[in-house]
Amino acid sequence: MDFERKMNLTMLTDFYELTMANGYFQNGLKDRIAYFDMFFRKVPDNGGFAIMAGLEQLIGYLKNLKFYDEDIEYLRGKGLFSEEFLEYLRNFNFSCDVWAVPEGTPIFPNEPIVTVRGPVIEAQFIETMVLLTINHQSLIATKSNRIVRAAQGRAVMEFGSRRAQGYDGAIYGARAAYIGGCIGTACTIAEREFDIPASGTMAHSWIQLFPTELDAFRAYARTYPESCTFLVDTYNVLKSGVPNAIKVFEEEVIPRGFRPKGIRIDSGDITYLSREARRMLDAAGFEECKIVASNSLDEYIIRDILIQGAKVDLFGVGERLITSKSEPVFGGVYKLAAIEENGEILPKIKLSENVGKITNPGFKKLWRLFDKASGKAIADVITTSDETIDDRKPYEIFDPEHTWKKKKVTNFHAKELQKKIFDKGSCIYDSPDVKMIKDYCMEQIDTLWDEVLRFENPHKYYVDLSKKLWEMKEKLLQEYSVG
């Protein structure tokens, strides 16, 4: 059972959601139908793409929206809310429609990844948790995938629980890291909750507790001969750690009918130490013994030490993954896109002196176009909700900012990316298990061109507007522009 089902998080909201809700209620707008989009403006670390994650937890939150007596009493004590509004909250029932891009999907700036339609009080109220949930896990899944790709096929474990920003950051961060490509986690509760493989061996304190490093290794080998991995850098990696590991492998592990699993290096020059350790292990006949490296790693360090010839089979990555230390904010926003009036959808737009903050108006669909010959993604297209991209005939895409840049796409397959998650407040979507999400994520990343996957100066993936949506936006820009 997930944590969001064990505790009620309804009051985890920015207070202005409540003041606006009361204002809507007092002004006769509680039943006004509104459309909100969640999207983000920039890929973390200047990368080429991000990864959608956190939808399962958002679903759990939406299923459990309920104001309890203590919530009502707290709000009454603020002295800001009418009794009629408090009674409305007491009987609150989520009734919105929700569409979302499935977890594990590569996503790009300015495209709607979550869309909510429903009574404005309800659709507005959930803003904080939509952003909190999707922003956090998408950030960590994206960072995890960068690190996994840097490892060039070598396994990566998530080691960051103790450095995460709070217990939920550790738990859901482990889930997101797994979606992004890690093979497992050091976080035990993540395995219990999500069936993500958890593993671990020893800390330096284990070795320090015994009279000698050799005694510590022997005790561990006798306890866990079938899964024997030693931490070899407590004193001196090459003069004592690796020699003592080899000695215990020979004296305690092999005689019991097992083979050694590995050694872990947690400090020092990983490139040099791993090369020397590999030479020593191979000379002892333990060619299959894995070398694990940890200690403040990220995608750039991993990439560099592999270029330098490091002999590492598995990386344990902690604080720089679980906090996305290099860029710890996923800048998702939640903006009004349209309202309904007398059954008609009226598009809304937010203008700004900062052109990048101007929103795409209206109720929309998100499409991905795939080349049939290569299977690679060509571009994403945002259309109005009543449009369909017919992939049986050529389709013209164009740059929304530089409209003279056009391309006619042929021999392609068009896929609508958003799935309907809630219908009038009832969940109609079955979340896949996290292993299926991870596999789907790896498959979808394979549809991206290598140029998009680059760490430095990745190719900008095209996110275009349909002609109809572009014309709608231009009309609103002209209508609301001043001067």
pLDDT tens figures, 136-194:
999 999 999 999 999 999 999 999 999 999 999 999 999 999 999 999 999 999 999 99
Residue 6's pLDDT is what? 59
Detail the DSSP E strand segments found in 403-454. 406-409, 412-416, 419-423, 426-427
Tens digit of each residue's pLDDT (9 = 90 or more) over 94-112: 999 999 999 999 999 999 9
Detail the DSSP E strand segments found in 74-123. 97-100, 106-107, 114-119
Tell me which fold the domain 148-322 belongs to.
TIM Barrel (3.20.20)
Place of tokens 């896949």: 432
**Can you give the residue ranges of every domain in the chain?**
3-140+328-480, 148-322
Residue 1's pLDDT is what? 42
pLDDT grade for 327, boundaries at 50, 70 and 90: very high
Answer whether residue 2 shows pLDDT above 60. Answer: no
Question: Which stretch of DSSP H or E encloses residue 306?
Answer: helix 299-307
Distance CA 118, CA 113 (A): 17
Nearest to 296 by CA among 445, 159, 92, 97: 159
Tell me whether the CATH fold assigned to 3-140+328-480 matches the one assigned to 148-322: no
pTM of the model: 0.96
- CA angle 8/144/297 to nearest 5° reads 120
Q: Give percent of the chain with pLDDT exceeding 70.
A: 98
Tens digit of each residue's pLDDT (9 = 90 or more) over 255-301: 999 999 999 999 999 999 999 999 999 999 999 999 999 999 999 99
Residue 482's pLDDT is what? 57
**Number of neighbours of residue 142 by Cβ within 10 angstroms:** 26
Instruction: Give the architecture (CATH level 2) of 3-140+328-480.
Output: Alpha-Beta Barrel (3.20)
